Amino acid sequence: MKNASKNESTTEGKTFKNRRQFLKLSGMAVLGSGLLIACSDDDDIINTPDPIFDLGAGNLGILNYAYALEQLEAAFYTKVLDGGYWAGAATNEKIIMEDLYNHEIIHREFFRTAITSVAPDQIVPDLEFDFSSVNFDSRESVLNISQILEDTGVKAYNGAGQLIDVSDDAGQAYLLLAGKIVSVEARHASAIRDLIDPGSMDFAGDDILINLGGTGLAYDKAATPTEVLTEVGATGFVVTPFTANNLPTS
């Protein structure tokens, strides 16, 4: 049984009236490196949509950034538990996927509550996702995408933690909670990697570890928000465009 309530996003209900829609590359730091533009075949007039949401600056921006990533993971596992792979999976795999689903829902709702409590008018909107490229009836497809998302989550939190302003109690609390969440994300990544290649060293493979100070491969990677959002945008999963122009960089 799924313990958390679903809040699956869909791509239905788009309001663009033009016959063609596409992503036009721009210099803005937009998710997917693109600015959403609607074009008409009839007169080639370019119409811009409503203003695109920016994640914001400072700790609020970091919270919105994490919230957007948790929305993505929660939406993915919602689809997993509705798919044929999960329905026919072995009991242990079903339990693991249920746990991942519940954890990501809880993480998503934590950030929704935290941001709403301090800046209710500046929270990233509910995002729409398109997982049509994922075969949710295929174990290989689901596990491979799950590994990508979990590995990305780990390096995203590792990279964002250093950007949190800890000059007040709130910032210190955010950093502490980020550490608690990234440790769970790392457990997720390890569990998925072990399902893909049981009993191997892939649970903490050399592809995700780095060497610090000549000590050997023993540390998880960290990635900047720009790097993570570029990778996430390249998946094509995120339909709702947003910018990250004001996130802290150091």
Asked, for residue 16, whether it belongs to a domain, the answer is no
Query: In the predicted model, is pLDDT for residue 18 greater than 60?
Result: no
Asked, for residue 14, whether it belongs to a domain, the answer is no
Asked, for residue 231, whether it belongs to a domain, the answer is yes
Asked, for residue 174, whether it belongs to a domain, the answer is yes
Asked, for residue 61, whether it belongs to a domain, the answer is yes
pLDDT in tens, 84-128: 999 999 999 999 999 999 999 999 999 999 999 999 999 999 999
Question: Quick one: pLDDT at residue 47?
Answer: 54
With cut-offs at 50, 70 and 90, classify the pLDDT of residue 218.
confident
Question: Quick one: pLDDT at residue 138?
Answer: 98
Asked, for residue 208, whether it belongs to a domain, the answer is yes
Best CA proximity match to 175, nearest among 56, 54, 57, 66: 66
Question: Quick one: pLDDT at residue 108?
Answer: 98
37: CB partners within 8 A, 6+ apart: 21, 22, 23, 24, 46, 47, 48
Query: Structural domain tally of the chain?
Result: 1
pLDDT in tens, 7-17: 443 333 333 32
Using alpha carbons only, give the angle 216, 183, 165 rounded to the nearest 5 degrees.
Answer: 95
- The arithmetic mean of pLDDT across residues 186-190, rounded, is 96
- Domain span at residue 167 reads 53-243
With cut-offs at 50, 70 and 90, classify the pLDDT of residue 219.
confident
d(CA 97, CA 242): 29
SS3 (DSSP) at 30: strand
Asked, for residue 96, whether it belongs to a domain, the answer is yes
- The arithmetic mean of pLDDT across residues 8-36, rounded, is 32
Asked, for residue 33, whether it belongs to a domain, the answer is no
More confident site: 56 or 33: 56
- The arithmetic mean of pLDDT across residues 38-60, rounded, is 67
- The arithmetic mean of pLDDT across residues 142-153, rounded, is 97
